[in-house]
Amino acid sequence: MRTKSLLTTLVIPLVMALALAAPAAAAQAEYKWTFSQPWVRPLANQAYQFFIDKTKEYTDGRVEIELFVDGLLGNHDETFHGVQDGSITIGTFSPYVSLIPGGVLNWMPWTIASWEEAELAFAPETGVLSEVIEKAYNEVGMHTLFHVSQGAYGIGNTMRPIRTTADFKNLKIRVSSSLGLVRALENMGKGTGMTLTTLPWSEIYNALSRGVVDGCWTMWPSLVDERHYEVMKYYSDLNFCWDNQNVAINKEAWDALPDDLKAGVTRAAAEAQHYANELHRKAEADYIRQLEQQPGFTVVRLTDAERDALREASDVAPIWKELCEPWLEKHYPGQNMSAKLQQALADIREKARAAK
């Protein structure tokens, strides 16, 4: 009996010590999601991986996300339909109206002109554009998680700096099918002899080099990465449109998630949005420095007053009435949402300017 008692006395503490020393078992993922990135965008991929890592941290490993980059799960439209039908859980999108009717609000001219304005307008849960874009994605069976911006669009050309409407005189400008921007540009160049030509984005370099067009709207990353600066002489930072993509999840998958895990994913998404903005903002500063050092290429900086004059010439109210009001009235009946949104964006613009 004494031997058994002694054995018990020795074994039990040893077992307890071993149990305490053993590493805790990793949490088993209860939700395994796929995330499709349809473009080749290394900088954005850093933000997406940041979101994935933070999601794992804030859900204690219960949500696991696998990222597929460079279109491995399909191109933009294929990714959209995959997330819509649930075969892919998460995707990143440009909200083209052919896929997302309410996405027109993402491309309206003169909505956002700076990173300061973007931080306010696309703020998670409280931003005026975040709210309407969420409703637009709900309509097609998705929930938006966060936004990733690349910056503002200006106009580059081979002829002259653009500061006023008169500077559009006789220019041949390449445009796309983004109707709101086309209408704004038409109004800015009205009576100047400016002509607009629709060409695929991939043909811009050759069209400029051969004189098929004199200019186009573009942005800092494209000027460098796609070498637009090589076939232009001037780039005017009109900042009349903002490049913004939306990371969205299949709504059924989102709705099935317990509230505590939704809170963790939402927190990760908000931090990822801020992280993405800082990444792209820093990269933009690097792009600008490179461009300012290029011989024969001039960066043209507009004043707020010059931008305001071009905004007024764009006559955006009728553009909103034609393109936005039908969708807004359907989803916000009797609320005069078009006027409210435009006023909110004007307030954001003034607040951002005051903070400079």
User: Would you state the pLDDT for residue 176?
Assistant: 87
Q: Which of 139, 85, 132 is nearest to 250 (CA)?
A: 85
DSSP assignments along 83-112, one per residue: HHHTSSSEEEE---TTT-GGGGGGS-TTS-
Domain boundary among 229, 257, 283: 283
Q: Are both 330 and 233 inside the same structural domain?
A: yes
Domain boundary among 253, 283, 313: 283
The structural domain count of the chain equals 2
Q: Which parts of the chain register pLDDT below 50?
A: 1-25
Q: Are both 219 and 308 inside the same structural domain?
A: yes
Residue 133: which domain range?
A: 28-151+243-283
User: Would you state the pLDDT for residue 27?
Assistant: 63
* Rounded Cα distance, 265 and 303, in Å: 40
Q: Are both 140 and 47 inside the same structural domain?
A: yes
User: Would you state the pLDDT for residue 40?
Assistant: 86
What is the pTM assigned to this prediction? 0.86
- Please report whether residue 332 resides in a domain: yes
Domain boundary among 256, 283, 310: 283
Domain CATH number, residue 117: 3.40.190.170
The residue type found at 60 is D
* Rounded Cα distance, 66 and 315, in Å: 45
Q: Are both 90 and 48 inside the same structural domain?
A: yes
User: Would you state the pLDDT for residue 7?
Assistant: 40
Q: What is the pLDDT of residues 200-214, one digit of tens each?
A: 888 999 999 999 999
Strands 195-198 and 172-175: what pairing?
Answer: parallel
Task: Let me know: does 140 contact 229? Beta carbons within 8 Å.
Answer: no
